[in-house]
Amino acid sequence: MKQAETNHLNVLPEAMRESVRLVERTRKYRLAQSLRGETFPSLSISDRKAWLADFHPDQRADGKRYLLVGPNEGNQVPVELADLLESRPRIALTELMEDPSITAKADIVTDILIIGGGGAGTTAAIAAAKAGSKVFIATKLRHGDSNTIMAEGGMQVADQECDSPVQHYLDILGGGHFTNNAELVEALVTDGASALRWLEDLGMLFDKYPTGRMKVRHGGGTSRKRLHAAGDVTGLEMMRVIRDKAESIENITVSDFTPAVELLTDDDGRAVGAVLERINGGKPLIVHAKSVIIATGGMGRLHLNKFPTSNHYGATADGLVMAYRAGVPLRDLHSCQYHPTGSAYPQRKVGLLITEKFRGLGASFLNKFGDEFIFGLEARDVTTAAIIRECQMMNNGVQTPYGSVGVWLDIPLIDLIHGRGTIEKEFPGRFKEFISKGIDIRKLPLLAYPTLHYQNGGMVIGTNGGTDMPGLFAAGEVTGGVHGHNRLMGNALLEILVFGLRAGQSAAEFAQSTTLSSSPGLSHLSAFVEQLEQKNCNPELNGPQLLPVY
């Protein structure tokens, strides 16, 4: 082969180069197959079940423990989460727990307190303000810093002629292995088209054909093309318009760098505000509110099972911890999503998301011999199990010089299938990210291995976002039920809109039907600490954790 034709390989160590040459050799067969409209065969149902049971990280016997106290006592959950749910309150809380006169005095009074300034929280704020409420958003980092902005490949909405909300509903239930809350799924798919229109009206720039028609793609486990994207920065673009809208509304105040660390409840067992810590130091802030919405996102930064993560730095399960101590039940916490394609090379990019949209446009999975081993658009949990099996059991993974392993995602195939320039146009974010490390994804496959991506379970909610606790609502990744034990791509961005809007509206209705409480306090927290003591739990951790420990 001529020098110029192989230069793109020089960025890789020799051992990996050899494997890429095999990928390049098999590429023409896969191209021909794709042009004939053929795909690698899907797995049989029995293989799916067996591979999930044997290789999915959720099924590992280690890494979990039983909860000893609280509404989910007796449930097995990941150790890292269990330790936080049963942690001690943060130091700053001690004085407040002992002296109720402190929590009785408010620094901030509002109709609705929203904890979390990502996609779900900000959407809820817009809905609540529209319904006439005064809203205060307390966010841990800056407004918008969240998993929403990390979402790349798109949002599922059944708005095409060949599709329907029913079809979408069936895909979600199947993808979740029928463990979903069907009413929540129905709400999600029913509101899909109006949520999409809402975003368009806010000015979101979706990918479109010159005729103005939306481009739609396949995601894993979907029976129809219904992924609507903005390049490979869909969440970032979504957050741009939602944040701009919220910041233009007078009734919404946003407080950056002030994470909530505990809910305030009253003598009637109602959620009536929260204690906020100031990241930059200083006295905690006491917020009194008529209703509260938790929208704190997920827990990827707990690095369950020691996996890398695609998540934002703020994803430390804070909302789950606060809700749990206040007695709100959680569900499906044993179930997490390990996205099949986290980056596995170079080392500085390990865990970074390589969007599923690459597979939606034809990129295939290959082992170290350049052989395809799984259909690229199986549901996520199955694909993840297949990659781990290929590396661990078959020993067919590609070794990196850092001792890690991965499989190839053959991205250059996309330009061959769809025409030159497609990769740069459809994936501007990832193209720039990797070219900065000398890796040209138009020419080189990327090495991938599963990365911790999403918390499938969370707070139990109803279709209006309400919880068991009066005055407490929740939306987004902090909740459970919509996706059951496995979320399909693109349904998280839809969820934050649909349930953000619903929770915002419902919290506003609740706030309008009530008055501020006269007894905001932390008695639920003292009771929780007492339960820990009764069970001889002696936690070392203080929670919520707020930031990852590295």
The single residue of 27, 359, 442, 524 carrying the catalytic annotation is 359
Within 13 Å of residue 135, how many CA atoms lie on the same side as its CB? 34
Indicate which single residue of 355, 451, 479, 506 sits in contact with ligand MEZ (rule: CB under 6 A).
355
- By beta carbon distance, the residue nearest ligand MEZ is 153
Name residue, tokens 């081993």.
Answer: 373
Asked if 435 and 307 touch (Cβ cutoff 8 Å), the reply is no
Cβ-count burial 20-41 (b if 16+ within 10 Å, e if not): bebbbebbeebbeebeeeeebe
What does the DSSP 8-state code read for residue 87? Answer: P
Q: Cβ of residue 441: shortest distance to ligand MEZ, in angstroms?
A: 15
Alpha carbons 9 and 6: distance in angstroms, whole number: 6
Asked if 378 and 55 touch (Cβ cutoff 8 Å), the reply is no
- 489 touches ligand MEZ (CB under 6 A): yes
User: Which residues have C-beta within 8 Å of that of residue 147, sequence separation ≥ 6?
Assistant: 118, 235, 297, 298, 300, 311, 312, 315, 454, 477, 492
Nearer to ligand MEZ, 263 or 379 (CB): 379
Three-state secondary structure call for residue 300: helix
Q: Cβ of residue 302: shortest distance to ligand MEZ, in angstroms?
A: 18
Alpha carbons 478 and 461: distance in angstroms, whole number: 10
Nearer to ligand MEZ, 451 or 506 (CB): 451
Indicate which single residue of 490, 500, 520, 544 sits in contact with ligand MEZ (rule: CB under 6 A).
490
Indicate which single residue of 207, 237, 356, 410 sits in contact with ligand MEZ (rule: CB under 6 A).
356
Piece in contact with ligand MEZ (CB under 6 A), picked from 239-247, 385-393, 488-496, 516-524: 488-496
Amino acid at 231: G
The single residue of 243, 270, 339, 524 carrying the catalytic annotation is 339
Piece in contact with ligand MEZ (CB under 6 A), picked from 209-217, 351-359, 425-433, 470-478: 351-359
- 450 touches ligand MEZ (CB under 6 A): no
Indicate which single residue of 492, 498, 501, 546 sits in contact with ligand MEZ (rule: CB under 6 A).
492
Q: Cβ of residue 418: shortest distance to ligand MEZ, in angstroms?
A: 18
Q: Cβ of residue 489: shortest distance to ligand MEZ, in angstroms?
A: 4
Alpha carbons 506 and 500: distance in angstroms, whole number: 10
Q: Is the link from the previous residue into 346 a cis peptide, with omega within 30 of 0?
A: yes
Nearer to ligand MEZ, 360 or 520 (CB): 360
The C-alpha angle with vertex 285 and arms to 256 and 241, in degrees rounded to 5, equals 25
Q: Is residue 359 annotated as a catalytic residue, yes or no?
A: yes
- Within 362-518, strands assigned E span 364-366, 398-399, 405-410, 446-455, 458-460, 472-474, 479-480
Q: Is residue 339 annotated as a catalytic residue, yes or no?
A: yes
Piece in contact with ligand MEZ (CB under 6 A), picked from 91-99, 355-363, 365-373, 475-483: 355-363
Nearer to ligand MEZ, 491 or 517 (CB): 491
Residues between 193 and 232 that touch ligand MEZ (CB under 6 A): none
Nearer to ligand MEZ, 128 or 195 (CB): 195
- 477 touches ligand MEZ (CB under 6 A): no
Piece in contact with ligand MEZ (CB under 6 A), picked from 71-79, 163-171, 350-358, 541-549: 350-358
Residues between 127 and 166 that touch ligand MEZ (CB under 6 A): 151-154
Nearer to ligand MEZ, 377 or 525 (CB): 377
- 176 touches ligand MEZ (CB under 6 A): no
Q: Is 547 exposed, middle or buried (0-12, 13-18, 19+ CB in 10 A)?
A: middle
283, two tokens: 């006295």
CA-closest candidate to residue 308, choices 402, 401, 232:
402
- 357 touches ligand MEZ (CB under 6 A): yes
Tell me the catalytic residues. Answer: 339, 359
Which residues of this chain interact with ligand MEZ, rule CB under 6 A?
A: 151-154, 355-357, 489-490, 492
